């Protein structure tokens, strides 16, 4: 086993810069009114990420508990603004705007626009559109997903596998289960299939995920452990295997696991990409294991 070495310092510096930029955007938007937010979202001279941040704030009202989308409170401009963003020529703006589509799903124009983006030429745009539709269990996306799933292109198959788990249809489950029973296309493909089946309620691949996680060898061990963690039935087991990867994994496995916990933790780990990152990640797991044990009956 390899002692832990953090990623190159440039990674930590990049993360620091991104977090600083995010805080600055939040500061700028802190006192903006809904009308100011709408103006900012529509202003194409502003940076794309700032416009998306303004759209995010516009979508939610911090005055309500729990948070309620503005569109749910009858603001008729919100769907129109979103449709404008989804129609812009810049793929990055379209991709970011798709993340807010579910707030306006009661508007049939938004649903149809998202469906139309399945035929977009940009991979990241139609992948995001597919995920939105899959989460909404919109049957219009199923033929696309099955075509990508059975095709020869690995990125498209991976994307389809991730989406099919949300569909909850016999066709979606059959495609995943049959491919699993046929052995998948590779061991790593089997990790994706087992994870998707588990998240859709089929635990046939759990022993395989546990085996891969216990190897603590490379990225896929962390992926397998995290897949188990993400389900209520195997939540505690997943946490233990995530800790196992941190304690016994190869350097690649440890670094990936620390990065994944950085993404999961709220608040974010302060030193995730330094030498202290693995210690913070272990503390996060131990805390959640303790909370899980406390919640158990008896």
pLDDT (tens digit per residue) in 235-276? 999 999 999 999 999 999 999 999 999 999 998 898 999 999
What's the structural domain count of the chain? 1
pLDDT-based confidence at 140, cuts 50/70/90? very high
CA-based R_g, the chain, Å: 21
Q: What's the mean per-residue pLDDT of the chain?
A: 92
Does any domain span residue 12? Answer: no
Does any domain span residue 68? Answer: no
Three-class secondary structure of residue 68 per DSSP: strand
Does any domain span residue 130? Answer: no
Does any domain span residue 94? Answer: no
54: nearest Cα among 36, 68, 70: 36
pLDDT-based confidence at 72, cuts 50/70/90? very low
pLDDT-based confidence at 67, cuts 50/70/90? very low
How wide is the angle at C-alpha 200 spanned by C-alphas 199 and 202, nearest 5°?
95
Distance (Å, rounded) from C-alpha 297 to C-alpha 102?
36
Confirm if 292 and 239 have CB atoms less than 8 A apart. Answer: yes
Does any domain span residue 8? Answer: no
173: nearest Cα among 187, 193, 153: 193
Q: Which domain holds residue 247?
A: 205-298
Distance (Å, rounded) from C-alpha 79 to C-alpha 107?
7
**Residues facing 61 on adjacent strands:** 68
Q: Residues near 16 by Cβ (< 8 Å), separated by ≥ 6? A: none
Does any domain span residue 265? Answer: yes
What are the tokens at 31? 């006192």
* 99, pLDDT greater than 80: yes
Does any domain span residue 234? Answer: yes
Confirm if 22 and 52 have CB atoms less than 8 A apart. Answer: no
Q: Mean pLDDT over residues 227-240, rounded?
A: 97
Per-residue pLDDT at 152: 78
pLDDT digits (tens, 9 = 90+) for 160-215: 999 999 999 999 999 999 999 999 999 999 999 999 999 999 999 999 999 999 99
Distance (Å, rounded) from C-alpha 140 to C-alpha 145?
10
Please write down the long-range contacts of 105-110, taking CB distance under 8 Å and 24 or more positions apart: 105/136, 106/71, 107/71, 107/79, 109/79, 109/83, 110/79, 110/82, 110/83, 110/86
CA dihedral 213, 214, 216, 222 (to 10 degrees): 20
Per-residue pLDDT at 296: 62
How many other C-beta atoms are found inside a 10 Å radius of the C-beta of residue 257?
Answer: 29
Does any domain span residue 63? Answer: no
Q: Mean pLDDT over residues 41-55, rounded?
A: 95
* 73, pLDDT greater than 80: no
Per-residue pLDDT at 76: 83
Confirm if 103 and 58 have CB atoms less than 8 A apart. Answer: no
Backbone angles phi, psi at 244, to 5 degrees: -60, -45
Per-residue pLDDT at 3: 78
* 129, pLDDT greater than 60: yes
Per-residue pLDDT at 297: 56
């Amino acid at each position: 086993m390899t002692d832990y070495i953090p990623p190159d310092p440039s990674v930590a510096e990049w993360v620091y810069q991104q977090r600083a930029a995010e805080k600055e955007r939040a500061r700028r938007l802190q006192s903006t009114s809904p009308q100011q937010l709408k103006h900012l979202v529509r202003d194409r001279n502003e940076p794309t990420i700032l416009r998306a941040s303004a759209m995010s704030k516009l979508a939610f009202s911090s005055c309500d508990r729990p948070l309620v989308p503005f569109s749910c409170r009858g603001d008729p401009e919100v769907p129109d603004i979103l449709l404008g963003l989804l129609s812009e020529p810049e793929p990055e703006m379209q991709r970011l705007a798709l993340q807010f589509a579910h707030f306006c799903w009661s508007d049939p124009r938004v649903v149809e626009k998202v469906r139309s983006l399945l035929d977009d030429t940009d991979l990241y745009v139609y992948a995001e559109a597919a995920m939105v539709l899959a989460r909404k269990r919109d049957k219009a996306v199923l033929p696309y997903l099955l075509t990508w799933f059975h095709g020869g292109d690995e990125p498209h198959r991976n994307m389809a596998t991730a989406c099919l788990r949300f569909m909850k249809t016999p066709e979606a489950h059959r495609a995943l289960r049959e491919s699993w029973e046929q052995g998948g296309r590779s061991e790593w493909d089997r990790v994706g299939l087992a994870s998707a089946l588990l998240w859709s309620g089929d635990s046939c691949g759990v022993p395989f995920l546990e085996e891969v996680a216990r190897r603590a060898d490379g990225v896929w061990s962390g992926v397998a452990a995290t897949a188990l963690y993400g389900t209520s039935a195997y939540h505690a087991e997943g946490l233990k295997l995530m800790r196992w990867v941190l304690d016994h994994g190869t350097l690649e496995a440890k670094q990936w696991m620390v990065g994944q916990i950085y993404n999961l933790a709220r608040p974010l780990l302060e030193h995730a990409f330094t030498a202290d990152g693995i210690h913070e990640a272990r503390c996060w797991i131990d805390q959640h294991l303790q909370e899980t044990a406390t919640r158990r009956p008896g």
